[in-house]
Chain A
Amino acid sequence: MNCDRVKQKLVFYVDGSLSETERNEISQHLKQCDTCEADYRTTVEMVESARKMKIPEHDDMFWNVHYQMTMSRIEQKHHRRTLIKTLKLASGVIGVLLLFFVSRSYIEKSKPENFVSMPVGISDIAYNILYNILPSDKLPIPVEQLQNVVDLLEPEDHMIILTELLR
């Protein structure tokens, strides 16, 4: 192995990640080459010096407290997330209700002045035909009379009766 090749591999020789064959080849080279041997020493010193660099140590008691703090943050986040979900759901429901009431009041306002409210018992179809298509003064029979008639019938029959009345 030549010097250039050793230089490329020296770092991995020091960190112990080379194969045994490569290690042996480099060991042999280092015994014969002073330049590479000096480079090897510098690398080893640098790595050893780096490994000796110390950082603050915390004991078990500290980590217990830190764990409790972490758990309390997890719980806080969980509560916050639940609260946000609830608020989102509540705002959705409120939005739907608001939309319902606003649209309902808009529909009420847009009804014609001589609008007659739907008598009890009359079907939706009958109501639409009688009161939204025909003005109340042009109804073929009075509303009360009509109601008496349709009350006696099934909703399916309303259309037949109405068709006859409107003919």
Chain B
Amino acid sequence: MDNKEFEQLYKRYAPMLYRTAYRMVKNDADALDIVQDAFIRIFNSFTKFRNEANVQTWMYRIVMNLCYDYFRKRKKVLFVSERDISDYDNNQQLPSDDNVEKIADLENQRKQNLQIALDKLTLRQRTVFNLRIYDELSYEDISKIMNIKIGTAKATFFQAVEKLKIIMKEMEKNELR
């Protein structure tokens, strides 16, 4: 693989792979490191992989494996601190109209709840959820990336969504008390 070809591949896929890694590790610097490591692996083994149709799936799999390595190495419990969320949301604040603020607050609250609920999913459930909802990959691609059956991917997605709904419902109940 020559450098020009690699540069094109990098510019096309790096932002996408970064978003995927970020959703898993919830940290900008770590997600960027994962993307870098992924591209080093891609560069070193691209000659073995010539089937263009599956390049994207193959790259996703590399990123996911690196994310799993990251969790294994650091034994890190996925948790986004409330400060991180509020810092980010503060930058996204809407104009100071009362109604708009209330809606924004509700929306932000829901996002925070969802973030906390997502952290309560198993690693496999979160991976399938992220790949399906954010990356909009087919169950076939997800099954290839995660090396599982299509049926398992679908069942895992179903379990993830149901679990999220239950957790969020519980959280909303607690807020109303």
Contacts and interface: CB of A to CB of B under 8 A. Distances in A.
Interface of A: 8, 11-12, 15, 17, 42-43, 45-47, 49-56, 58, 60, 63, 66-67, 69-71, 73-74, 77
Contacts, number: 74
Interface of A, secondary structure class, is helix
Contacts of B114: 46, 49-50, 53
Contact of A54 (B44, B88, B138): B88
Nearest to B18: A58
Given A46-B161, A63-B11, A67-B7, A55 B23 contact: yes
Contacts of A42: 165, 169
A66 B35 CA distance: 9
Given A11-B161, A42-B165, 13 more contacts: A17-B138, A45-B110, A49-B107, A50-B133, A53-B114, A54-B88, A55-B19, A60-B11, A63-B11, A66-B36, A69-B36, A70-B36, A74-B44
14 contacts: A42-B165, A42-B169, A43-B165, A46-B114, A46-B164, A47-B133, A47-B161, A50-B114, A52-B111, A56-B28, A63-B10, A63-B14, A74-B43, A74-B44
A66 B154 CA distance: 35
Interface residues on B, range: 35 or more
Contacts of A45: 110
Given A43-B165, A73-B36, A53 B18 contact: no
Contacts of A52: 107, 111
